[in-house]
Structure 1
Amino acid sequence: MEKVVNGFSPKLFILPLLIIALILSACGKTEKTQSDAKAGGGTSKDGKTSISMALPSNNASYLPVFVAEKNKLFEKNNLEVSTTRVQGGVIALRGLQTNEFQIISSLPESVINGIASGANIKLIGTLDDQSMYSIYVTSDIKKPEDLKGQVVATNRTGNGTDIQLRWWLQNNGLEPDKDVRIVEAGENPTRLQALVTGQAKLTILSQPTDLKAEAAGMHQLSIMSDDLKTYNHNMLIANGEFLKENPEAAKGFMAAIAEATEYAKKPENKEEMVQIIMEKLEMNQEDAEKSFDFVLPALADKGKANTEGLEWAVETTKEAGMLTGEVTIEELYDDSYISD
């Protein structure tokens, strides 16, 4: 087991940047793609089960979903899947609980607390079994000790991004809210903006924002997966009623993800994968290749979650004071929808 964060004392700070407010307000929209499938796990006229899926960000980690769409693997498994881009995991989780979405992708921490509190949802798999975050700093920061007395930008106090950041700080000898001051700066783009404008010295970023950080003169201090060996980043979570009423559809969804992942990992398909990333994320070829190379080792075979990573998430969520009840791995995760 990796080191566990102790003594969290989260404090709320708001980053006073007008540009951040403007960017955040512009990001409140949702963006639908794919078919006009019905919400609620209903059956379409051609007999396919409809699934509405929420994606809380837009990055290359969703490559298995992109491949399943392009290669019609959902249709192969008698499904009509539509994807909706939402602003953050909290909105995705809210829609999952109301059955607006039948499946979402999210960091596990908020889901863990939801299940512990009685939410009728279930983890059924993952897209990747490593953390997809990296630690970025301004050019004057060379080592973790240089951060003492400085400001660090997080997403939102207590969410999965924040928990991982605080764990990294303490794992590198820095006491959160004591050795460093932690401010809330929102999603990836606004966290990067906090560094660029000098409001913070360090933040935690996922791709493709990491490439923008490098272009802006920031440098990578650490790759989270080098320190955090067990984690599941973009987990797949399903509505409980949907699972109860449509178990075969859930199995079909995971079968499509498994086949798409296997396809994406084949060396002979790399050029095609890079092209998909370029189209989906509107990237140039060089950046798409970098994103693909970063994501590829983390893609989870058959979409199966790392149970040690789930245990880590439970323990750190508890230490952060965000877990209000007790929960077991069996209550959280059901891998019966994944075929052997």
Structure 2
Amino acid sequence: MKKCTNKTFVSTLLALLFSVALLLSGCGAADGAKLEAKVKSAGKAEASDIKMALPSMNASYLPLFVAEANKLFEKNNVKVAFTKVQGGVIALRGLQTNEFQIISSLPESVITGVAQGADIKMIGTLDDHSMYSIYATSDIKSPKDLKGQVVATNRTGNGTDIQLRWWLKNNGLAPDKDVRIIEAGENSTRLQALVSGQAKLTILSQPTDLKAEASGMHKLALMRDELKSYNHNMLMANGQFLKENPDAAKGFMAAIAEATEYAKKPENREEMVKLIMGKLDMGEEDAQKSFDFVLPALANQGKINRDGVEWAIETTKETGMLKGEVTTKELIEEAYITE
């Protein structure tokens, strides 16, 4: 056997040392990557859970659909679970008990609730115009044709009823005098009151307005053409939740702001229509109509129309439903809106 020369021995040793160095370097990099991942994971706060009640399901909730579909809530470190409830009264009741941390609602019921001591705040809005339309049977051509007739409302004193009564007055009719008002419940049953002949006119939101047209009813008025200042789907939060989780409320509103901006971009129209189709099990033509109806009313950054809140306060007071005084300062908390 031949002996290794010094030169050969040195070369072999150097190669061995180089291999060991590479191995150690690889292990170090892997360990470093794991450590970095752990640090990042430890530094990120756990996402806050928010339960949100929706008293209906329609295209007005488009910013919520967009935020959910594009994971904008997760991006802003909140996890939002939606629950469909039967009407705003149930949603409000759940908000007061903190069963729900946020709800979408007309402003009038919250105004009366806060006046009675409820710990609730308006933190934003999905839209800053009314989403209602006035529909009538084919024989009612103008408001004057309603004298002596019956009109259908939801429930006396709620936001829907207040808007309907305002519209009647705005068109020269005295509620409960020139016209008789009956309680018919939610959108679908109010429409049925027209179809069955129980009433000649009612107030509807989409997508029931599309069903009204398909049933032979006609749109007598678009509320936003007459009622210039309003917030339809307001975002209300439980006061205790806001005190304990201010960052979660800010994250929620940041997601709404980004979602609204995304929905308004013309290049995203087709995507929005498809989203509405999927969420509401709606055909493309109806989804396009719903999108076109909702789009002009979406509120930038979720900002509240303060004149609309003032209108709601005064009109609720006129109906006698508001007992005592309440101010916008008591109602609105805009600190959570992203500028």
TM-score category (smaller protein):
0.7 to 0.9
1:325 positional shift:
1.5
- Alignment-derived partner of residue 183 in structure 2: 184
> What RMSD over aligned residues (CA atoms) do the two structures have, in Å?
0.9
- Alignment-derived partner of residue 256 in structure 1: 255
- Alignment-derived partner of residue 213 in structure 1: 212
- Provide the secondary structure at the position in 2 that maps to 1:336: coil
Deviation beyond 6 Å, 4+ runs, structure 1? none
- Farther-moved stretch of structure 1 (218-227 vs 320-329): 320-329
- Alignment-derived partner of residue 271 in structure 1: 270
- Provide the secondary structure at the position in 2 that maps to 1:312: helix
- Alignment-derived partner of residue 88 in structure 2: 89
- Alignment-derived partner of residue 169 in structure 1: 168
- Alignment-derived partner of residue 20 in structure 1: none
In the alignment, the residues of structure 1 paired with residue 79 and residue 124 of structure 2 have an alpha-carbon distance, to the nearest angstrom, of 19
- Provide the secondary structure at the position in 2 that maps to 1:324: coil
Q: What amino acid maps onto 1:169 in structure 2? A: L
Question: What does 1:285-300 correspond to in 2, within 5 Å?
Answer: 285-300=284-299
Question: What does 1:139-178 correspond to in 2, within 5 Å?
Answer: 139-178=138-177
Q: What amino acid maps onto 1:65 in structure 2? A: L
In the alignment, the residues of structure 2 paired with residue 52 and residue 276 of structure 1 have an alpha-carbon distance, to the nearest angstrom, of 22
Specify every segment of 5 or more residues in structure 2 that has no aligned partner in the other structure, as ranges: 1-43
Structure 1 residues 181-201: Cα deviation after superposition (integer angstroms, max 9, x where no partner): 000000000000000000000
- Alignment-derived partner of residue 55 in structure 1: 54
Structure 1 residues 93-130: Cα deviation after superposition (integer angstroms, max 9, x where no partner): 00000111000000000000101111011000000000
In the alignment, the residues of structure 2 paired with residue 212 and residue 339 of structure 1 have an alpha-carbon distance, to the nearest angstrom, of 37
TM-score by length of 1: 0.86
Structure 1 residues 56-89: Cα deviation after superposition (integer angstroms, max 9, x where no partner): 0010000000000000000001111000000100
- Alignment-derived partner of residue 310 in structure 1: 309
Matched, 1:241 2:228: no
- Alignment-derived partner of residue 79 in structure 2: 80
- Farther-moved stretch of structure 1 (291-300 vs 318-327): 318-327
1:335 positional shift:
0.7
Q: What amino acid maps onto 2:129 in structure 1? A: Q
1:219 positional shift:
0.1
In the alignment, the residues of structure 1 paired with residue 137 and residue 315 of structure 2 have an alpha-carbon distance, to the nearest angstrom, of 27
- Alignment-derived partner of residue 107 in structure 1: 106
Q: What amino acid maps onto 2:83 in structure 1? A: T
In the alignment, the residues of structure 2 paired with residue 98 and residue 328 of structure 1 have an alpha-carbon distance, to the nearest angstrom, of 23
1:151 positional shift:
0.2
In the alignment, the residues of structure 1 paired with residue 91 and residue 238 of structure 2 have an alpha-carbon distance, to the nearest angstrom, of 11
Structure 1 residues 119-171: Cα deviation after superposition (integer angstroms, max 9, x where no partner): 01100000000000000000000000000000000000000000000000000
Q: What amino acid maps onto 1:239 in structure 2? A: N
In the alignment, the residues of structure 1 paired with residue 178 and residue 332 of structure 2 have an alpha-carbon distance, to the nearest angstrom, of 36
Q: What amino acid maps onto 1:159 in structure 2? A: N
TM-score by length of 2: 0.87
> Higher Cα Rg: structure 1 or 2?
2
In the alignment, the residues of structure 2 paired with residue 178 and residue 146 of structure 1 have an alpha-carbon distance, to the nearest angstrom, of 14
Structure 1 residues 282-340: Cα deviation after superposition (integer angstroms, max 9, x where no partner): 00000000000000000000000100000000000000111112111010001110021
Q: Which has the higher helix share?
A: 2
- Alignment-derived partner of residue 41 in structure 2: none
Identity across matched positions, percent: 79
- Provide the secondary structure at the position in 1 that maps to 2:56: coil
Specify every segment of 5 or more residues in structure 1 that has no aligned partner in the other structure, as ranges: 1-44
- Alignment-derived partner of residue 14 in structure 1: none
In the alignment, the residues of structure 1 paired with residue 256 and residue 324 of structure 2 have an alpha-carbon distance, to the nearest angstrom, of 32
In the alignment, the residues of structure 2 paired with residue 263 and residue 127 of structure 1 have an alpha-carbon distance, to the nearest angstrom, of 13
- Farther-moved stretch of structure 1 (146-155 vs 320-329): 320-329
- Alignment-derived partner of residue 30 in structure 1: none
In the alignment, the residues of structure 2 paired with residue 270 and residue 325 of structure 1 have an alpha-carbon distance, to the nearest angstrom, of 45
In the alignment, the residues of structure 1 paired with residue 45 and residue 244 of structure 2 have an alpha-carbon distance, to the nearest angstrom, of 19
Matched, 1:199 2:198: yes
- Provide the secondary structure at the position in 2 that maps to 1:335: coil
1:46 positional shift:
7.7
- Provide the secondary structure at the position in 1 that maps to 2:199: coil
